[in-house]
Amino acid sequence: MLRVLDVARPEPGPGEVRVRVALSAINPGDMWMRTNSAPEDFKPVGEHRGRIPHQDGTGVVDAVGAGVSGPAGPGSPQRSRQVPLRP
């Protein structure tokens, strides 16, 4: 089941960045996660408290954690394939 929820915007921890997503596609993997029918090697490991369906997207870095350097600074364009969530 999909639900729309208001959640707190997390601040990035050390070595993390937060990306403001501009575009996101629906990928077959998103549907696997939603229906819990992913192949075993694709399923998440460990405790899992929900997932925001998203694997393919693009956006802009809007916050960085301590120790982040290089091309991941604020305002830099980014693309993603998997977006892990912290519990």
DSSP 39: -
Q: Which residue has the higher pLDDT, 75 or 8?
A: 8
Q: Is the confidence at residue 67, as pLDDT, over 80?
A: yes
In a domain, 79, yes or no: yes
In a domain, 81, yes or no: yes
Q: How far apart are CA 27 and CA 57, in angstroms?
A: 10
The structure's pTM equals 0.58
pLDDT at 82: 54
In a domain, 34, yes or no: yes
Q: How many structural domains compose the chain?
A: 1
* pLDDT tens column, 38-55: 676 666 655 555 556 666
In a domain, 5, yes or no: no
* Structural domain for 40, as ranges: 26-66+74-87
Gyration radius of the chain over CA positions: 14
Which residues in the chain belong to E strands, given as ranges?
A: 17-25, 56-64, 77-80
The predicted model gives 54-74 an average pLDDT of 78
In the sheet where 17-25 sits, what is the strand order?
17-25, 56-64, 77-80
In a domain, 36, yes or no: yes
Q: Is the confidence at residue 77, as pLDDT, over 80?
A: no
